[in-house]
A and B are shown apart, each in its own frame.
Chain A
Amino acid sequence: AQTVTQSQPEMSVQEAETVTLSCTYDTSESDYYLFWYKQPPSRQMILVIRQEAYKQQNATENRFSVNFQKAAKSFSLKISDSQLGDAAMYFCAYREIGNEKLTFGTGTRLTIIP
């Protein structure tokens, strides 16, 4: 079974600074998707960014970018210019092609220090 590991239960960053959240995963597949979801106190799961494994280029969405290292099975999330609204739980998730189940990591709670 695929596993997703987030080794940082909590992180904090000063407002306007940059923070990187780590994620590693285990799979024998060559084609799959990776996602970062944000869960604010409202509980809503919000997609932050997605990466397709066949694409070598790292995905970016405004202040959010990933460092996808396929050989190392690593998928970290970088948040630049951190804002108070970025405070949330962040979940890394993996999905196989053709098997649409999402496997989640245990999450990283991000605190933004004003």
Chain B
Amino acid sequence: NAGVTQTPKFRILKIGQSMTLQCTQDMNHNYMYWYRQDPGMGLKLIYYSVGAGITDKGEVPNGYNVSRSTTEDFPLRLELAAPSQTSVYFCASTLQGARSTEAFFGQGTRLTVV
């Protein structure tokens, strides 16, 4: 199993550009998440999804959009990139309803906005 796969691993954007961070999982997990991790900080939730067609905002959703058209994929879109969006982005997934189920994380995308 590949688990959670994120692409790209690194990206540099110019202010005002847009991009999509891709995330796919092959574990048939219903919950998927996007987190950002700023230097020296913990992970903050941007958006999450409880299943295909359903998304909801987390702590820090401004400047981002998501969609969930399939169980496997949960892309994160940045419109009009700003320097404040320089961060490491993690996608994660988990299975609701199973006790003690851990969240599985992708390897992260380091994004720099200049």
Q: Which residues of A contact B (CB under 8 A)?
A: 4, 6, 9, 33, 35, 42-45, 47, 50, 52, 91, 95, 98, 100-107
Contact = CB atoms under 8 A, between A and B. Distances in A.
A31 to B, nearest CB: 10
A100 B31 contact: yes
Nearest to A31: B99
Interface residues of B, number: 25
A43 B108 CA distance: 7
The B contact surface, by secondary structure, is strand
Given A50-B102, A100-B31, A106-B42, 20 more contacts: A9-B40, A33-B100, A43-B88, A43-B108, A44-B107, A44-B108, A47-B102, A47-B103, A50-B100, A52-B100, A91-B43, A100-B50, A100-B96, A101-B33, A101-B48, A101-B58, A102-B43, A102-B103, A106-B40, A106-B41
A11 B109 CA distance: 27
